[in-house]
Each structure stands twice: as C-alpha cells, then as structure tokens.
Chain A
C-alpha cells in the first residue's frame, strides 16, 4: 500500500527535477527576454506582473521571468556540483574510515565530530568572505561544511560490507586494499550514496541560496535565485513580486530533490 505511495513521491520528485533540468538546458529558447538587459518601458521602476511580463520587472527594468529561467542554470549547476563535492569528500572519508578502522577511523571520526560542532552557515560565510565569492570558492565551501552526514552513512555501510563473505574471500585471495575498496566495497555502497546525493542536493541548494542571500553567492551579473531575493529586500514594500517568484523557484527545486530522495530511500528500506 504505501510502497505505491513512495513510488509516486519519487516519480513526482523525479519529474520536478527533470523539468528543471529541461528549463536550464533550454533557457535561451524559453526565456522571452535577455535576463541581463533592461527591457521594460518603466526603466528604473519595478513594474508588477502583467501580460507582457508575467512575473513583473525589477528595479533595472529586467524581466523577472527570464531571470528566474536563467537562474535555474546557475542554481542547478551550483547545487549539483556542490553535491558532487560533498559526496566526493564524504565518500572518501567514510570509505577510509570504515575500511581501515583503527587509528585512521579514530582521527577521521574525531574530525567529523569537530565539523559537526561548528556552525555550518557561519563557517561557510567566513571561508567565502576570506576566499572572495566565486563559483569555485562556493562549491569548495559547501562541500567542506556538508560532507559529514555522507561520511557517517558511508562509514556505517562500509563497516558492514567489510565483514561480508565476499570481501573476506577477496581479501583471502590476496586482493590489495585499493582493489578491495574500489571493486568490492564501493559498488555495494553505491545505492545509499545515490540516495544521499539526492537528499544532499536539496541541502546544497538551500545553502547556496542562503549564501547568495547574504551577499556571498556567485558574483553578478549571473542571475541566481538567492541573489534575486537579496536584491529584492530593498523593494519588498513596493515590489513584493521581486522576491516571491525566485523564492518559489528555489522551493520547487529543493522540494523536487527532497521528494526524489525521500521516495527512493523509503522504497529501499522496504
């Protein structure tokens, strides 16, 4: 009964994510205007949603709809790339920790404890502020502050794998550690990694949006959803549409990845 339900959740989430990918890919076709040019006749004054501009225009006369569509490119790229960074660090730490155990495990897990005690957003802000905001520094920082969860799950999964007969057998046959890890442990840990990646993307999307909102995101003129909301805070009294629509976009993307990850995870547990 609820297996069906989880299937549907994953399907809806998957469809939402796919639709975003399509929007990002076909942004030049879909966007009615150039996102970086002033196109509204009311230059310098935000104009409310109308037939010509369904999401209104901003303080520089730019079309909000086009900016939201183009924003999907940056936001998705950053979200997915940051997730890849997160998963790469987390999987590496988790595999090493679970496979080698002993002193390696002790040091890596104490490092994880320290990272968990640190406030992620503050740490991310501090590091971005120091490195200066750029696409690379943001990816790096998001990866650095959010790998702990992945590491723990991968470690637990690895711990149970290294006790399985096929790993013990391979070891007895003299397979070296790198081969054991890559050929025997990693493929069996992969399913949980994929789920963590889907759930992780919702987290990295939110963190990226938060950094953008605090003025530490990908620098202009690239439109990002988070920075659109940040720029809109000055106009929230007179032009609420400027913050409403980019927010809905972030919400839609994060919800899509959450539904996907949650649906797949619940089905796995069955």
Chain B
C-alpha cells in the first residue's frame, strides 16, 4: 500500500517545529473538481483497513504493557489483606486464570462492541466513565483549537507577508518562544495572573464560560506558535512559485496574491496538523486538566495510571488511538477534497 506522507506528522510535536511538511506546490491551485469515483472507494477501503490494523496493533501493545505490570488486579480490587480464596474467586470472575490469548480475544471482542470492561477501582463501565468525562474535554479542545488556529494563521500570514522584516523576525522569535513554554507552567502563570491578581477568572474547575478562558489560552498558545511556523514556511514556499508570480504580474498586490492564490495551497499542511492535534486534545489533555482541576479525560487517565487501574488505562489509551486513526482518515479525505492534485487512490 502506498503510504501517504501526511501520516508522518506527529500529533504532539513541539520538538519538530521546523520540519514543516511540504507537498509539491508545482501546479496552480484550482479548487473543486472532486468526483467520487470507484478508485476512490477502493482507496477509502484501504485506509479503513489500515486504520483498523493500527488500532489492532495499539490494542496488542497496550495489552502487553498491561500484563507486564507487576501489580495484581485481584489485589487491587480486594485490597492487600484479602485472603487467597477471595483472590482466586476474583481472578476466576475476571477471567484472569485463563490463557493470555483468550483474555485478549475476549477483550477485543468486547471492545469492538463498545464495551471496554469495568474499572477495577471505580467499579464502573470504562465506556461510561470516558463518556461522562468527554464533554468537559471536548469543550476545552474545540475552543483551544479554534483560538490556536486563529492566532496561528494570523501570525503566520502576517510574518509571511512581511518576509525578512523586523516584524517577521519578531513573530519568529515569538512563535519559537510560545512552543518552548512548558504547558503546565504557562497554565500556572495564567492562573496566578488571571485568577489571583486580576481575580477575573475562577481558580479551576469547569463551571461556565469564564472558567474556560484560562485553560483555553494555556492549551492554545503553544499550538498557535507551532501553526504559525508551519504556515509561514508553506506560505513562503508558495509565494515563490510561478503561479503566484504570474498573479502578481497581472497586477495583484502581494497581499492579494497571498490571500487568493498562495493561501489555498499553504493551508494544506495546517489541515493535517490541526486534525491530528484536535484528536490528541479530544482524548484528554493531562497537563492542562491537572493545572486547572478540569474534570476531563486527561484527569481520568492520570488517576487510572496512579491506581494501576488497567482496564481504565487501556480504555483511555485505546480511545485516544481511535481518535487519532479517525482524524487521519478524515484528514486524508479532506486533503483530496481541498487539493484535486492529490489523488492517493490513483497512485496506490
């Protein structure tokens, strides 16, 4: 199977700021022309199979990790003072006395039907626990994504429009500074500034729009710096292409040429990044949620790890992998729709 180059972008890549994706900017951009034909269906099926395979791989990996854990789940449930008989009963009830591959097969079978097992500590359905925490995380993720895209696009396109000017330099340093800030520290600083000194914002928890402001900023600023760099790189490349030069030759100003011609191409790498980042954020943002005491999936996963609550750990990790796989699929389809030159199903 042909590997799409877009898969290669990491979901959380502060370290890789300068490795901007560069699809070919060879031809002029003409939008539209998206005709769903048979090869495309084949492509979609291949991508779906590929996604399912990745999920299978992640489930095997997490299952393996869960079973090298020295902690005994039966002891975790019954307490350290439980007698051997109770422990044996619990093991039998959970199926822990069966061979590993049977345990895995049972887990997989249930997972496909949406049942991720029961939390050892909370004694609740893992699926239900994740569902109950999802809204808080989702609100935060969507707000942060909107803000980081807005800021990132603004910074990136202004920098590209005034290339090699002092403003460009300042924006470059600003964006590098934003990606270099540890999220949990930025959150703490915002909490001190906005919550303690200004007293305008609550000091944590999820209650109403005001409580959203500081966590959203915390989560958005780093990504904004990253997006700004990526857009700057791809816009600068696009501006050097012949079709933009042609547009300028026809009398368009630099700004017009950028917005009307270069931007459409330059946005593509950003679509990939934002798609994967959104998936990453939706699966929980441990650090931001910890700083702001946010009742989201990140905190749930954090507690699960501290309690060695294996079904809950596996559930949150698999949920996260699922979102990333779905995001990849959506990004691939979006790509083909946004850029008719990219027809992965013709190359495959």
Query: A residues touching B (Cβ–Cβ < 8 Å)?
Result: 1-2, 5, 9, 109-111, 113-114, 116-123, 125-127, 129-130, 146, 148-149, 152-153, 199-204, 206, 209-210, 213-214, 226, 229, 232-233, 236-237, 240, 243-244, 246-247, 250-251, 254-255, 258-259, 261-262, 265-266
Contact = CB atoms under 8 A, between A and B. Distances in A.
Contact of A125 (B179, B184, B286): B286
A129 B305 contact: yes
Interface string B48-91: 00000111011001100100111100000000000000000000
A2 B164 contact: yes
Contacts of A265: 18-19
A121 to B, nearest CB: 6
A249 to B, nearest CB: 10
Nearest to A247: B185
A149 B301 CA distance: 25
A237 B291 CA distance: 13
The main secondary structure of chain B at its interface with chain A is helix
B287 A266 contact: no
B290 to A, nearest CB: 7
B177 interface: yes
B278 to A, nearest CB: 13
A209 B15 contact: no
10 contacts: A117-B54, A117-B325, A119-B280, A121-B287, A149-B15, A233-B188, A251-B185, A255-B180, A258-B180, A265-B18
Contacts of A199: 15-19
Contacts of A125: 286, 301-302, 305
B321 interface: yes
A247 B182 contact: yes
A117 B17 CA distance: 19
B18 A109 contact: no
B320 to A, nearest CB: 4
B137 interface: no
A258 B321 contact: no
B192 interface: yes
Contacts of B290: 213-214
B317 A114 contact: no
A109 B10 CA distance: 14
B10 A148 contact: yes
Interface residues of B, number: 62
A117 B185 contact: no
B17 A118 contact: no
B19 A149 contact: yes
B65 A266 contact: no
A216 to B, nearest CB: 9
Interface in B144-197: 163-164, 169, 172, 176-177, 179-185, 188-189, 191-192, 196
A121 B183 CA distance: 13
Contacts of A130: 65, 68-71, 308
Given A116-B11, A209-B182, A259-B176, A244 B189 contact: yes
B28 interface: no
Most central of A111, A125, A148, A201 by chain B CB within 10 Å: A125
Contact of B19 (A153, A201, A214, A255): A153
B321 A117 contact: yes
A232 to B, nearest CB: 8
Nearest to A209: B182
Most chain A CB neighbours (cut-off 10 Å) among B8, B62, B290, B313: B8
Contacts of A209: 182, 184-185
A226 B8 CA distance: 30
Interface in B298-345: 301-302, 305-306, 308, 313, 316-317, 320-321, 324-325
Contact of B169 (A5, A111, A126, A251): A5
Contacts of B68: 130
Contacts of B62: 118
B7 interface: yes
A116 B323 CA distance: 12
B14 interface: yes
Contacts of B291: 233
Contacts of B280: 119
